[in-house]
Structure 1
Amino acid sequence: MKILIFSFTFIGDAVLSTAVIQPLRRRFPDAHITFLVGPRAAALFTTEPQINAVHIYDNRGEHAGWKGRLRLIKTLRREKFDIVVNLRDSLVARFIGAEHWGMGRSGGNRHAVTRYLEVLQRHGVDTTDAHPHLQLTEKELAEARRFLVGEPSRSRSFSSVGEPSRSQLRIGIHPGGNWIYKLWDAQKYAQLATILSKKLGASLFLFAGPDERELQTQLGGTMHPSPILVKTKNLRHLAAFIAACDVYIGNDTGPMHIAAAVDTPVVALFGSTNHHRSGPYGEKHTVVQSGLQLGCNPCHPGRNPGGCGAGRCAVIDGITVAQVVEAVEGYLT
């Protein structure tokens, strides 16, 4: 049995789609499962134990346009898949010569994971307790634990090592994201970090994407005491670092979904996006909102995301530092 999972380009969407892997493994334990994913997310899954192979779908490069899509179809047809689980509702998936398991017609105001699991349910697959999951190796986890030890004033690459210690609460913070309307004010993150460090005695780890190094350095310089600046381009390393934290705090981003998938409690800040559809999946996580209703929020997903043209989202900016502190303290009681 050969199964192709038609996943996504963006990291967060791809992580959410891993929810289908566990139930497929239970139903077809000897299946060869291939994950089709965008180039930005691919590295996160190449060593995932429950996935046998990863194919890249580069819709802005090699597979752009009809010629590119035709090239992808020919490549996939040679694999002779038995089932394609088409989570992105792609027309390409219907032409690869496999039994097609597709999405329903209406998404509604339901979580993406719920809709993905319904694809399997319609074909009699038991999805009990299914959720997005990244299975890190013991080596990856051990290296992250060694990395996360040391003076909090230092900036580190993944090769930094030390002896494991668990004397302090570890809190990971990621203030970045790929859309300005999703972002909470950076200075509020700095205020939050200072309070958490002083009030809870927490050791703070400041995460950033490859294009957010300047923000990471500037923001880290305003936090007291200074956090450890975690710098890595390797998504598996990032996942292992987050798994070693006791709590993760961040905006609606791919790393937020990575945190939930490695079972780290998430405090997620939402304003412009719909947490019912794309929030951290699972009851152990907390979504913080300001409660402001401007009539336009949430604007994403929607026909005109960011259509106000304000340059920032007043709804997410309305979240107070005290709200986030309270959410974090909820995990300590």
Structure 2
Amino acid sequence: MTGTASPPYRHPVAVIQPLPGIGDMVWHVPHIRAIATHAGTAVTLLAKPRALADQLLAGDPAIADIMPVDLNPGGRRRGAHDGIGGFRRLVHSLRRRGFGSIVLLHHSDRLAAAAWMAGIPDRRGYGWGRQRWFLNTGPFLPLDVKTLHQHTRATRYLRAAGIMLHSAEPRLTVSQPARQAALRRLGAPPGGFVAIGIGSSEHLRQWGTERFAGLAAAVLDAGWPMLALVGGTEDQASMTNIVRSLGEHGARARPVLGWDLPEVMAVLSAAAFYVGNNTGAMNIAAATGTRTYALFGTTRAFDHASQIVPVAAPDIGLHDGMARVSLPQVLQAIQADRGRIAPG
């Protein structure tokens, strides 16, 4: 059920999605597209550089431009929009763009205040706490929605605003030429391949090199001609250890480490299936239509992507990450879903 339609947008329209992860951006793709459709024009997307929206959504007709919001980048670097001076720079950038409407798919009061200071006439968002001071167009979400997943929050907001969301499932499209180019670089064989996501930025979401090595061996033993090991450049040591553990079969495991995001998307879209940690790559694999066996451990599993098959640890009230997710459990999940591990 949809809510009462909110007033029309004023052009140009901006949408802020400031969560930092690639997966965070994937979750919000259907909502950003729905807002653009409702507005009748492509929108400017404001996002953190770490979300790689410029690569993830390159060429998307719903996106007219992408403006970086450089807040809390992590590590030792200070963001260009951090602190009082950074806030002023952000306000100046927003004012210079001349936005008529801005929609915050987040609860940040700092970003709402920047939009107000920039003189954007139509300011919309979730409206919790101090953010509400700086917004002037409803609807606003009830406080209990704040406990829900970020994807669900955005879905509830669009529903309340009367914005048609034909499907809340994130979907990413990869062109056939892009897929073929990535497969050539990978050296994919005719018999297909399985993608394994070995990377993770958080310790509690990391299944571990030893267990990934066991999974790689089991998949190759089942008859798959090749594996694609997906991660970042920081996963080089893990990849090396996995390949070494495979002995003479190590040449059948190909690294996809530190590739540009469009190439990673293309590889994942062509995989027979994907197994990996709860990361951006996992979200991308599912969004491209690839069956995805996601290792959640004791992290709450997602339910907004039909291609995700969650593999979680039994709930005993202990948040110990991946510690109790075993290799037999993962193989059993794949077997139960596909009917077999082997190609077919």
Q: TM-score, normalised by structure 1?
A: 0.81
Q: Is 2:170–2:305's contact at 8 Å kept on the other side of the alignment?
A: no
Structure 1 CA distance for aligned equivalents of residues 298 and 323 of structure 2: 10
- Tell me: CA distance 1:134–1:70, structure 2 relative to 1, closer, same or farther (3 Å): farther
Identity %: 25
Question: What's 1:6 paired with?
Answer: 16
Question: What's 1:155 paired with?
Answer: none
Q: Is 1:196–1:202's contact at 8 Å kept on the other side of the alignment?
A: no
Contiguous gaps of at least 5 residues in structure 1: 151-164, 298-312
Deviation at 1:268, TM superposition (A): 0.7
Compute the RMSD of aligned alpha carbons: 2.2
Q: Is 2:275–2:294's contact at 8 Å kept on the other side of the alignment?
A: yes
Deviation at 1:179, TM superposition (A): 1.1
Question: What's 1:88 paired with?
Answer: 106
- Tell me: CA distance 1:83–1:139, structure 2 relative to 1, closer, same or farther (3 Å): farther
SS of match in other structure, 1:9: coil
Q: Which of the two has higher C-alpha Rg? A: 2
- Tell me: CA distance 1:130–1:183, structure 2 relative to 1, closer, same or farther (3 Å): same
Deviation at 1:109, TM superposition (A): 5.3
Q: Is 1:134–1:261's contact at 8 Å kept on the other side of the alignment?
A: yes
What are the within-5 Å matches in structure 2 for residues 272-283 of structure 1? 272-275=298-301, 279=302, 281-283=304-306
Question: What's 1:61 paired with?
Answer: 79
> For 1:112, which of 136, 150, 153 is the aligned residue?
150
More helix by share: 2
Structure 1 CA distance for aligned equivalents of residues 122 and 318 of structure 2: 41
How many residues matched? 297
SS of match in other structure, 2:234: coil
What are the within-5 Å matches in structure 2 for residues 193-208 of structure 1? 193-208=216-231
**Pair 1:134 & 2:172 matched:** yes
Deviation at 1:211, TM superposition (A): 1.6
Question: What's 1:49 paired with?
Answer: 60
What are the within-5 Å matches in structure 2 for residues 111-190 of structure 1? 111-150=149-188, 166-168=190-192, 170-190=193-213
- Tell me: CA distance 1:258–1:235, structure 2 relative to 1, closer, same or farther (3 Å): same
Contiguous gaps of at least 5 residues in structure 2: 1-10, 72-77, 127-140, 340-344
Give the aligned residue type for 1:240. Answer: A
SS of match in other structure, 1:40: helix
Question: What's 2:37 paired with?
Answer: 26
Give the aligned residue type for 2:262. Answer: R
Q: TM-score, normalised by structure 2?
A: 0.79
Deviation at 1:292, TM superposition (A): 4.2
Question: What's 2:131 paired with?
Answer: none
Deviation at 1:146, TM superposition (A): 2.3
SS of match in other structure, 1:52: strand
Structure 2 CA distance for aligned equivalents of residues 84 and 76 of structure 1: 10
Structure 2 CA distance for aligned equivalents of residues 212 and 280 of structure 1: 28
Q: Is 2:146–2:153's contact at 8 Å kept on the other side of the alignment?
A: no
Structure 2 CA distance for aligned equivalents of residues 326 and 2 of structure 1: 51
Deviation at 1:205, TM superposition (A): 0.7
Question: What's 2:8 paired with?
Answer: none
Deviation at 1:4, TM superposition (A): 1.4
